[in-house]
Amino acid sequence: MAQTKNTYSKPKFIICFVAVVALMAGISHIFNLTPIDEEQLRAKAEQARQKETADLTTEDTVVDAGYTSETEVEDAEDIETTEEEEEADTDEEVTDSVDMALPMPDTTDMASMYVSNKVWSYPLCFPDSNSVQLAAARLNGVPPMQRRGELTQMVNQQRLSCISSSPYYVIDELTHSMPYLVPKAQMLLNTIGINFVDSLQSKGMALHLPIVTSVLRTSDDIRSLQHGNGNSVTNSCHCYGTTIDITYNRFMPLAGHTPTRYDDTLKKVLAEVLYDLRAQGRCYVKYERRQACFHLTVI
């Protein structure tokens, strides 16, 4: 049999090889990114990442601002007062600055990490105005008294209970109100104190008691209060023995006599307790920034 002649010579092989390499290089040039395009792509990716980070930061800032500052404007007749306001002008300035820009919790204090975010905005979570609370006070309270001398009859009829001493809360030094509540409101206050301590204990935090700054007022008390404070209203919920002011800037340590002041974590825990009781339909709550208190009325 005759041997077949090899048609693939060395020059032809080299030419075919070069042609294939050139073809592959052209395809690669068409479909692959050039170094400049790749650098632009990296730059665009970095810009997108920075924008996403900025958006998340802005969102967190908005949430925090809604949680710590009050933007709504209240009508004059809706503003209640406490004895704390008269001698705490300096405290109010500090309170405003604390409310407007609360410091970030210390990461070394693990107890603060256990506070939930259910109360995401104080004014929006506690919006119950004076008019709303006044209707509940009239329904559940005693008739307003003109002077303190009428108190004895109410106590003898067991329509009012003295709350001056309790293991569940502390009564502040009262100058324009008296430590008396209707029994239903007294039970609510006891529940607040118990739940507050239980919540602190479950979170591993130092135990404190809430401080009550204003309770029952007579018409004489309100007139006396109006001399030093034009914001106090004549038709106050405090006249009916159903309404309590609890400060959120001071808490009394369970073992101690010096209040803990301006503790944001304690304030949040107290807010959670009030939020739950309000959700259960047991009270109305108004967040008072100027008077630095939670103003609440039993339902």
3-state secondary structure of 36: helix
Question: So what's the pLDDT on residue 193?
Answer: 98
Q: Amino acid identity of 177?
A: S
Q: Inform me whether the pLDDT recorded for 206 exceeds 50.
A: yes
Rounded to 5 degrees, φ, ψ at 92 are: -65, -40
DSSP state of 64: H
Question: So what's the pLDDT on residue 256?
Answer: 84
Q: What is the DSSP string of 163-207?
A: -S--SS-EE---SS-BSEE-HHHHHHHHHHHHHHHHHHHHTTPPP
Question: So what's the pLDDT on residue 159?
Answer: 95
Least confident of 50-59, 158-167, 174-183, 247-256: 50-59
**What is the Cα–Cα distance from 1 to 12, expressed in whole angstroms?**
27
Q: Inform me whether the pLDDT recorded for 61 exceeds 80.
A: no
Q: What is the pTM of this model?
A: 0.63
Residue in this structure with the two tokens 């603060």, named with its chain if needed: 112
Q: Inform me whether the pLDDT recorded for 148 exceeds 60.
A: yes
Please name every residue paired with 260 in a beta bridge, in sequence order, or none if there are none: 251
Q: How far is CA 23 from the centre of its chain?
A: 68
Least confident of 35-39, 78-82, 201-205: 78-82
Look at the alpha carbons of 128, 134, 138, 141 in this order and tell me if their dihedral is positive or negative.
positive
Question: So what's the pLDDT on residue 91?
Answer: 40
With pLDDT > 90 as the criterion, what percentage of the chain qualifies? 50
Question: So what's the pLDDT on residue 46?
Answer: 67
Integer angstrom CA distances of residue 21 from 11, 15, 18: 16, 10, 5
Question: So what's the pLDDT on residue 114?
Answer: 59
**What is the Cα–Cα distance from 216 to 222, expressed in whole angstroms?**
10
Identify how many contiguous H helices and E strands the chain contains and give both numbers: 10, 8
Q: Amino acid identity of 178?
A: M
Mean pLDDT of 121-146: 95
Least confident of 64-78, 181-195, 198-212, 266-280: 64-78
> For residue 268, what pLDDT band results from cuts at 50, 70 and 90?
very high
DSSP state of 284: E
Question: So what's the pLDDT on residue 122?
Answer: 96
> For residue 72, what pLDDT band results from cuts at 50, 70 and 90?
very low
Q: Inform me whether the pLDDT recorded for 215 exceeds 70.
A: yes
- For the chain, the average pLDDT equals 76
